[in-house]
Amino acid sequence: MTERGKCSNPARVALLIGWISLWGVAILARLVQIQILQHEEYSRQALRSQQVTSELFAPRGIIYDARMDELAANVAVSTVAAEPMNIDDLEAAARGLASVLDLDFEELYARMSDPARRRFLIVKRRIDPKDESRVEALGISGVYLYEESMRVYPNCELASQTLGFVNMNGDGGAGIELLYDRELEGIQGQITFEVDARRRPFRGKVLVPSRQGNSLILSLDRSIQYIAERELAAGVESTRAAGGTAIVMESDSGRILALANYPGFNSNAYNEYPQELHRNRAVTDYFEPGSTFKVVVAAAALEQGLTRPDELIDCQMGALRIGRHVFHDHKPYGYLTFTQVLENSSNIGAAKLGLRLGDQRLHEALLHFGFGAKTGIDLPGEIPGLVRDLRNWSGLSAAAISFGQEVGVTSLQILCAINAIGNGGYRVRPFFVDRVVDEDGNLVRATVPERTRTMREETAAAVREAFEGVVLRGTARKAALEGYRAAGKTGTAQKIDGGRYSSTKFIASFIGFAPLPRPRISVLVQIDEPKGRIYGGDVSAPIFSRIAQEALMQLRIPPDQPLPVRPERIRSVTADDSGDFLPDATPVLPITSATETSEGLSQDGTVALLAAEESVSVPDFTTMSKRAVVERCQELGLRIQTQGEGAAIMQVPPSGTLVPVGSVCNVVFARSRPGRAGAPMAPARLQASAGKR
């Protein structure tokens, strides 16, 4: 080797060593950067490519009825999802999925080709279980199934407007599902899967466990709900009506045992029905109540000391003039007791009580009974009804309101008001959710019944007695129960159509309670636009009878002694049922227009009178026993109102008077004075009252 070659080699070696050293330092620096400085970032990238994290669905809370039967539950279903960025042939994948899942190919292909959906796309939610294996058989990389929860309603249409439904996003869409959505929805968890190169999961780990939502235990009784819906549907269909509502409420507490609207819908397929059927009409719609409202005025007058149960009220043979206008009754009644005013549903008697109260006290009584305000029921969409400001009342308002016009009430409002008569004078807050429990069954909270006294117990008892007379002798004889004493009030109200009272559209209703003397349940039955038969006593009272009868049996309430059976040949005449209705009863426009005067009346402002079809001669009851008088009245088709015990000493109308079938006879009975056989004694107060006639 030359001298020159020897001198050049060390320099080259040093240069090479320097380059290698720099390269090693660079690699080391890069490793430090990757392994230390950017370790977390690269770890996350690795996990993203090696793992898939998704939400772990949380089951929605269960809804139970009062007997712990499931009304709303959950089932696990599969949803088909895709990652288009990891699918080699989008067109073939879309064609295969569309064929298996019965989807439109072009629409699905367009969605899968959308750049905004490259990372994730829901192909179809909640597929049929039989389609799961067919999707898996396609073997498409980037298409997978994941599990989620679907709400199901085992009883389909039962209590649909009350329960509501859960929409496709898992949110409550109506009814209790909507109002208690946050309570029912669970807490979502997280689960992570390790995936292979083809994005197929092979191992999973729960990061955050899911937690089921709280469950609701309702006051609603599934059996009673079924009975109410069955009888309501039969009643609506038999009268060719537009719809109807029935409510069964526990009298003392306000617990709703059943709430039915007809027609309803299947909560499992809610989107196949018109949205108007999702509305719970018992709390979202108001109407003029008609004769059922007379109880409010009667109870208020009694509470204020403006009348008494045995007072004789002059009904002026069915005509009452106020200014230029004349109000007429459905029959020409003379003197009726307070009780008989309600039994016979006298508009004139009710109007006179309303006039005694006066505008101010009547307005206060309406508010005191809860009208013009929400009941507080735990259902969405409740409205307060309508009670006009006192400044907007006319000179006719007190009389008109007294028999249920110029006010708007919901079905639940009027039920709560009349329920106060049954439970001794308390207005209750109705409710559905009795208890809330967590997923382990531990009590979260319980509903405490709320009651507000609206009248004295004596007032409620007096009106309750009159209500029993409505069932035994008045317009609601078809509401009578077998083995139980019942009481209630009928009503037939004209609907408002185009700002005027319709001559063809009516709301027939009956509201009652049973058994007496201490009612357990109050029941409302309301039929909307019945055809042919229109009166509450003829249409709604029989439905009440069937619902209440079976509900009391479901509640295992022992019956009283069997009630006496009326002779079959005594018929229920139409004139009796018409006692709860007076067409166009007031010369004022309906509640949609408060300031105008009505049109279409006769020149003197009178309203047509409904005449009876048959007449009978009143016999002489003097010296007859009460049982003999009752039997004789039943034979003749007359209704009887009695006072006292013993032998008959006085009667109104007098013997020989020709009266319509179905009229009321007042008969006073008295026992003999001690020590003077055969000398009957009449109570001084009754004699004085009779003398005023």
**Euclidean distance between CA atoms 328 and 335, whole angstroms:** 15
Query: Quick check: is 484 in a domain?
Result: yes
Q: Give the sign of the dihedral formed by CA 543, CA 546, CA 547, CA 549.
A: positive
Following DSSP, what letter does each residue of 538-562 receive, concatenated?
Answer: HHHHHHHHHHHHHHHHHTTPPP-SP
CATH no. for residue 66?
A: 3.90.1310.10
The predicted-structure confidence for 578-589, as pLDDT tens digits, reads as follows 555 545 444 344
- Are 201 and 228 in a shared domain? no
The model's confidence at residue 23, banded by pLDDT at 50, 70 and 90, is: confident
The model's confidence at residue 693, banded by pLDDT at 50, 70 and 90, is: very low
Q: What percent of the chain stands above pLDDT 90? A: 38
The model's confidence at residue 62, banded by pLDDT at 50, 70 and 90, is: very high
pLDDT at 206 over 70: no
- Are 105 and 237 in a shared domain? no
The predicted-structure confidence for 660-679, as pLDDT tens digits, reads as follows 766 777 787 776 543 333 33
Buried b or exposed e, range 447-485, using 16+ CB within 10 angstroms: bebebeebbeeebbbbbbbbbbbbbbbbbbbbbbbeebb
CATH no. for residue 657?
A: 3.30.10.20
Query: Quick check: is 600 in a domain?
Result: no
What pLDDT sits at residue 600?
A: 31
More confident site: 686 or 404: 404
The model's confidence at residue 203, banded by pLDDT at 50, 70 and 90, is: low
- Are 231 and 199 in a shared domain? no
pLDDT at 373 over 90: yes
Q: What percent of the chain stands above pLDDT 70? A: 82
More confident site: 680 or 465: 465
Query: Quick check: is 115 in a domain?
Result: yes
CATH no. for residue 297?
A: 3.40.710.10
- Are 535 and 656 in a shared domain? no
What pLDDT sits at residue 324?
A: 78
pTM beyond 0.85: the answer is no
Mean pLDDT of 432-456: 94
**Euclidean distance between CA atoms 189 and 213, whole angstroms:** 12
**Euclidean distance between CA atoms 18 and 12, whole angstroms:** 10
The predicted-structure confidence for 290-299, as pLDDT tens digits, reads as follows 888 888 899 9
- Of 148, 183, 215, the one marking the end of a domain is 215
The predicted-structure confidence for 452-461, as pLDDT tens digits, reads as follows 999 999 999 9
The predicted-structure confidence for 385-438, as pLDDT tens digits, reads as follows 999 998 888 888 888 888 888 899 999 999 999 999 999 999 999 999 999 999
Helix (H, G, I), strand (E, B) or coil at 444: strand
pLDDT at 217 over 60: yes
- Are 526 and 645 in a shared domain? no
Mean pLDDT of the chain: 81
Tokens of 311: 């007072």
- Are 444 and 486 in a shared domain? yes
- Are 287 and 208 in a shared domain? no
- Are 430 and 304 in a shared domain? yes
- Of 520, 554, 580, the one marking the end of a domain is 580
Query: Quick check: is 252 in a domain?
Result: yes
Residue 369 belongs to what domain range? Answer: 222-580
The model's confidence at residue 36, banded by pLDDT at 50, 70 and 90, is: confident
- Are 554 and 646 in a shared domain? no
What pLDDT sits at residue 333?
A: 86
Task: List residues bridging with 144 in a β-sheet.
Answer: 81
Which of 556, 573, 292, 247 is closest to 405 using CA atoms? 292
Which of 125, 120, 73 is closest to 103 using CA atoms? 125
Mean pLDDT of 9-17: 81
Number of domains the chain is built from: 3
- Are 685 and 663 in a shared domain? yes
- Are 522 and 657 in a shared domain? no
CA distance readout (Å), 95 to 109, 150, 449? 8, 27, 59
In whole angstroms, what separates CA 295 from the centre of its chain? 22
Q: Give the sign of the dihedral formed by CA 574, CA 578, CA 584, CA 589.
A: negative
Tokens of 401: 């309101």
